[in-house]
Chain A
Amino acid sequence: MSDWRKTDIVNVDQPELTAAERLYVPQVLGGFKTTLRHFFRKRLRDETVVQYPEQRRVLHKENYRGVHRLNRDDQDRVACVACFMCATACPAGCIHIEGAESPWPDREKYPARFEIDELRCIYCGMCEEACPVDAIELTPKYDLVGRSRKEMIFDKETLLAVYDRTKDDKPRKHPAITGYVRLTIDKD
């Protein structure tokens, strides 16, 4: 004896067509009604259609994940401290950093080379979330064009230039972190 009940069975056959539905022509006419209604609704079209590039969609600038930039601190130096947290967090492995001893007294390291391959990037924002000093941020710029793959590997100057161009459009989320303590080894 099986252990199921009749109420366990659910019939999912296609429902039978009614007589009017079998005739098909009334259904077709109903379809025409819908189509014609949309055909004559010019106001809906005007409100919905965004004529790119003259009009652009309004973005949530705080959250939109577009091209990266390297923020500057209030002395116009690159804010990154070459901690490699973004490079480690990146799922696509598109960030390449070379750290070096920083030329400034209040910081220990700075990136001598900071490259992001914008074509490999998946624009997930993990690097922005990982950065402890808010140095890397994703801007609302999405219409990026390059003519070669080499052109799309953004180096440190390019990323700082993106900052210069977008700092008014999207200001830094948090103010720059200053007051680093530089550990020095006392020489006796």
Chain B
Amino acid sequence: MWEWLSWESIKDNVLADQFGFSLLLVPVLFGVMMLAVAYSVLAERKIAGWIQDRYGPNRVGPWGLLQPIADGIKALMKEDITPGHVDRALFIFAPWMIFVVALVGFAVIPWGGAFRWPWMDESAEPILAQVASIDIGLLYILAVASLGVYGLVLGGWASNNKYSFYGGMRAAAQMLSYEVPLGMAVLVAILTTGHLRLEDMVLAQTGFAWTVLFHPAAALILFVSALAESNRTPFDLVECEQELVGGFHTEYSAMKHALFFLAEYAHLITGSAFIVAMYFGGYLIPGFTWLNESSSVWAMLARMLVFGGKVAAIIGFYMLVRWTLPRFRFDQLMRLAWKSLVPMTMALVVLQGVIVYTDCSQWLALPGNVVIVVAAAVVGARSGTPVTGRQQSLMRKEATG
């Protein structure tokens, strides 16, 4: 009766079967993701410390490695206060929403590519080392990530507090505005690689055909938009202490606050994984044929490590940006999105569309990018509004003397 639990049956039905393997991968990836989020907080603090000529946390474990555990225990044991004047259901719902939404995007990222277990023969379908390989994987991620706005807005609204509400509204405006250049930069990648399914996008970038080499400007715009989407410095006006105390998460304490805080890092990790898959060739390294093409289990694990390494590099870059740049003022932020990034991405989409339509060499995109950036700079210089949106003053200059 228990023969379905035998090793033979597990091999055929769970491991060799895509659905069974995906089910198995869900808790594994969830655990890895939670660890990654917790340790990225530690990494942020250590990197911040090194940049500021000091050490980050180094007391709790060797090199501070047990610090996230200490933080987790603290968050669990703190008194969880729900103030009397809040909208209770929305108050509890908001941090949950934003955290879940960030984690769900992990399902379609192609971590390890295709592989076969040693007991499967060569003619069987290879198993994909990702949770779900959807035809419209990119659309799924964009749709799910956009739901993150709800979490912020509900957090601000439910707090029943003028300043939290103001922070929530600003956060909503910021995230919605930066969805536009994000979507269009993603569109450029889709047009370049020709697929919407993420693992086909990765496979289309074999050799030196990484999308970032064709469209560096689009990659840069995607970086900036992903920064703004996860409300990180320099776009963290809505949640920084100097502005609105805590913005939309002022009234939250203990675990709910920890969820908001971790959601920012989860968004960062998902966004970075997304960028690596689309622009930086996923798990491929040009030249390593064994790594790129072999379908053994070891190659799959090596590919996962390569992907993880690239994601870590991008996250490190984001953390460097946080401790280098000062914050944008809110009007500068909006002006950057609408007056600067949106026209540039529109031009990039047109450029890539023309390249695809006329079927000429993809390498023409690179000088095209340069032309677009230079044109944007020139237009910005002539019109008096700088490309970045940082405007000196709206008053007309009077002639002196």
Query: How far does the Cβ of B313 sit from chain A's closest Cβ, in whole Å?
Result: 13
Bound state CA distance, A39 and B52, in angstroms? Answer: 8
Tell me whether B55 and A45 are in contact (CB under 8 A): yes
Tell me whether A38 and B325 are in contact (CB under 8 A): no
Checking A19, A22, A31, A39 against B325 with a beta-carbon cut-off of 8 angstroms, the contacting residue is A31
Main secondary structure of the interface of B (DSSP, over half): loop
In the complex, what residue of chain B is closest to A20 when comparing beta carbons? B377
Residues A28 and B324 in contact in the complex (CB < 8 Å), given A38-B51, A44-B53: yes
Segment touching A, from B180-188, B276-284, B380-388? B380-388
Checking B50, B387, B392, B401 against A24 with a beta-carbon cut-off of 8 angstroms, the contacting residue is B387
Residues A23 and B53 in contact in the complex (CB < 8 Å), given A11-B400, A31-B325, A32-B320: no
Query: Does any Cβ of B come within 8 Å of A59's Cβ?
Result: no
Query: Does any Cβ of A come within 8 Å of B36's Cβ?
Result: no
Bound state CA distance, A35 and B390, in angstroms? Answer: 22
Residues A38 and B53 in contact in the complex (CB < 8 Å), given A19-B381, A22-B380: yes
Question: How many chain B residues touch the partner (CB < 8 A)?
Answer: 23
| Count of CB-CB pairs between chains A and B under 8 Å | 56
Tell me whether B390 and A39 are in contact (CB under 8 A): no
Could you say which interface size class chain A belongs to? Answer: 20 to 34
In the complex, what residue of chain B is closest to A47 when comparing beta carbons? B53
Tell me whether B386 and A17 are in contact (CB under 8 A): yes
Tell me whether B388 and A24 are in contact (CB under 8 A): yes
Query: How far does the Cβ of A159 sit from chain B's closest Cβ, in whole Å?
Result: 34
Tell me whether B47 and A39 are in contact (CB under 8 A): yes
Bound state CA distance, A32 and B220, in angstroms? Answer: 15
A-chain residues with CB within 8 Å of residue B323 when the two chains form the complex? 35
Residues of A within 8 A of B (CB): 6, 11, 14, 16-17, 19, 22-25, 28, 31-32, 34-36, 38-39, 41, 44-45, 48-49
Apart from A17-B386, A45-B54, A49-B55: 15 A-B pairs, beta carbons within 8 A: A11-B400, A22-B377, A22-B381, A22-B387, A23-B377, A23-B388, A24-B388, A24-B390, A31-B324, A35-B51, A38-B53, A39-B47, A39-B51, A41-B53, A48-B54
